[in-house]
Chain A
Amino acid sequence: MPEEGSIAGDNARATTEPAEFIGALYRSDSRRVLATLIRLLGGFELAEEAMHDAFIAALESWPRTGVPQNPRAWLISAGRFKAIDRLRRGARFDAALVAIADQLEANAPPVLECADDEANHGIEDDRLRLIFTCCHPALTPDARIALTLREVCALGTEEIASAFLVPAPTLAQRIVRAKGKIRDAKIPYQVPAREELAERLDAVLQVIYLVFNEGYSASLGDSVTRHDLSSEAIRLGRLLTELLPEPEVLGLLGLMLLHDARRPARTSADGDLILLHEQDRSLWNQQQIRDGAALVERALASRRFGPYTLQAAIAAVHADAAAAEATDWQQIVGLYDVLLRVEASPVVELNRAAAVAMRDGPQAGLALIDAILARGELAEYFLAHSARADLCRRLGRVPEAIAAYRRALELAKQVPERRFLERRIAELQNASKAL
């Protein structure tokens, strides 16, 4: 199995300077080393210090001794010894640490004693353990996202804070609290058992999708860092696909690739939002669409797919149409019907209503949207009002359309969305004046 991003088995070391190689190794493999050290040392804090100590030790000794045969195993072993050293030094102040250090030393890590392949397999399991622990449902959703980006993706606290528009100290505290809970409530460092896997995998996929959406919905204006979140989510999706190729994992990666493929066409040069049917389809990333569609097919073929795969299938139908008019709305409505059976939600109903409007005309869609709004569930959701406004506009019911766009504008938060709604209101007002 090829290892995503790793250069540990690379022959790059033959040609580059050790310091340079160590820098590249840090970027590609520090998370693998960390994931294994957490298991060996039984805690995040000690493992993080140990991992940094190990890389520093490598910088000191590799230029003299040369790069070892298995650099990753060397780093893990060095990290473990550094941690034991640290505990021994601290032990002068705290006798309990002596016992822990002794125990760590006695429990020699099996990883280093097996053949390379087996050792690597163990290391890949550790990466899954790290993901499942960071996304444990006993942590708050905010903490899961922060911890995953920090520990699995190696983003800095400052970076994550600015991406989520929260002050850095708040975010740092979130991470400290989450690590405290992992330690004190004893959240185990393990891949869940088969009977827990579905629920636990849901929590992981949710974190990845939230990170993606945070970047996707904000991939506009001044938010360059936020837009990087989408790439980070895709990277996480690829990693998980490699470690645990469950159908919904493939489905989610497919969904993200298909959405992200449209990114270059989603905004105008002035940063204005461009809706799907008005996008220049030649700007769509065709390679990403092919990769996304292939993942959707694999997930569908498994017959164990769920909501992510179905949403990805819908995105694939859109991507398949050479022009907006060529969209297969019949198939899209059908996929929404299945999605509603798997996961009933008013937002899915709203999207289905918009698809029905395209298949059967605006009147049919409007009746469905009005019924959803009458239930009150989406009364505060700006997209429900802007979808309603759009259908009224197409039916020539101008005052009603303007009122609905105004309601949407009251609820919309993102600048590009607000600009889009303001533009629509102005167009309708001008058109009605001209009459």
Chain B
Amino acid sequence: MKYLCLIYDNEKTWETMSKEESGAIYGEYYAFTEGIKKSGHYLGGNPLQPTQTASTVRVRQGKISTTDGPFAETKEQLGGYYLIESKDLNEAIQLASRIPAARTGSIEIRPVMAIE
């Protein structure tokens, strides 16, 4: 079963971090990613550029409208994701709890819908 783990955290904290602090977190992400690659749970994953680089697109009455940024202001922003393979939700919860941002932000786990 595939699950998408959406990583939500306050992106502003990255701006206030020292090089050493952010380096340590990158290190943790690297170790986590390597770990789930070895255990066969990793299918994909990427960090995202901050929300100031985001664009939102809608099509209404056939017309494209593009606006700056995400549609809602929230304390935590989507900052990256992992796509994992896991046997059930309990295993997915255990894996997601090891993502570094789980300690400061939150991880939303969404089962991927299978389309035959």
Q: Which of B88, B109, B111 contacts A188 (CB 8 A)?
A: B88
Contact pattern, A 175-197, Cβ under 8 Å of B = 1, otherwise 0? 00000000011111010100010
- B43 CB-CB contact with A under 8 Å: no
Give the residues in chain B near A190, CB-CB below 8 Å: 90
Contact pattern, B 75-116, Cβ under 8 Å of A = 1, otherwise 0? 000000000000111100110000000000000010100000
Give the residues in chain B near A185, CB-CB below 8 Å: 89, 109, 111
Interface residues on B, range: under 10
Q: Which of B38-59 contact A (CB under 8 A)?
A: none
Secondary structure type dominating chain B contacts: mixed
CA distance in complex: A186, B1 (Å): 8
Give the residues in chain B near A188, CB-CB below 8 Å: 87-90
Chain A nearest Cβ from B79, distance in angstroms: 22
Q: Which of B50-72 contact A (CB under 8 A)?
A: none
Contact pattern, A 150-186, Cβ under 8 Å of B = 1, otherwise 0? 0000000000000000000000000000000000111
| A184-B111, A186-B1, A186-B111 known; A192 vs B89 contact (CB < 8 Å) | no
CA distance in complex: A136, B109 (Å): 15
Contact pattern, B 1-20, Cβ under 8 Å of A = 1, otherwise 0? 10000000000000000000
Number of interface residues of A (CB under 8 A): 10
Give the residues in chain B near A198, CB-CB below 8 Å: none
Chain B nearest Cβ from A96, distance in angstroms: 8
Q: Which of B1, B87, B89, B94 contacts A138 (CB 8 A)?
A: B89
Most chain B CB atoms below 10 A, which of A186, A192, A196: A186
Chain A nearest Cβ from B43, distance in angstroms: 16
CA distance in complex: A84, B90 (Å): 28
Contacting pair A196 B90 (CB below 8 A): yes
CA distance in complex: A185, B113 (Å): 9
CA distance in complex: A59, B68 (Å): 68
Nearest-neighbor residue (CB-CB) of A132 within chain B: B90
Chain B nearest Cβ from A313, distance in angstroms: 33
CA distance in complex: A186, B90 (Å): 9
Give the residues in chain A near B111, CB-CB below 8 Å: 184-186
Chain A nearest Cβ from B56, distance in angstroms: 28
| A185-B111, A186-B1 known; A138 vs B88 contact (CB < 8 Å) | no
CA distance in complex: A192, B94 (Å): 12
CA distance in complex: A152, B111 (Å): 26
Nearest-neighbor residue (CB-CB) of B91 within chain A: A188
Give the residues in chain B near A192, CB-CB below 8 Å: 90
Most chain A CB atoms below 10 A, which of B89, B93, B94: B89
Give the residues in chain B near A187, CB-CB below 8 Å: 88-90
CA distance in complex: A196, B90 (Å): 9
Chain B nearest Cβ from A415, distance in angstroms: 40
Chain B nearest Cβ from A276, distance in angstroms: 42
Give the residues in chain A near B88, CB-CB below 8 Å: 186-188
CA distance in complex: A184, B2 (Å): 11
CA distance in complex: A78, B48 (Å): 54
CA distance in complex: A55, B1 (Å): 34
Nearest-neighbor residue (CB-CB) of B94 within chain A: A196
Nearest-neighbor residue (CB-CB) of B113 within chain A: A184
CA distance in complex: A187, B87 (Å): 10
CA distance in complex: A136, B92 (Å): 14
CA distance in complex: A136, B111 (Å): 16
* 18 chain-A/chain-B pairs, Cβ below 8 angstroms: A136-B89, A138-B89, A138-B93, A184-B111, A185-B89, A185-B109, A185-B111, A186-B1, A186-B89, A186-B111, A187-B90, A188-B87, A188-B88, A188-B89, A188-B90, A190-B90, A192-B90, A196-B94
Q: A186-B88, A188-B90, A192-B90 are known contacts; what are 6 more A-B pairs with Cβ within 8 Å?
A: A138-B89, A138-B93, A184-B111, A187-B90, A188-B87, A188-B89
Query: Which B residues form the contact surface with A (CB < 8 A)?
Result: 1, 87-90, 93-94, 109, 111
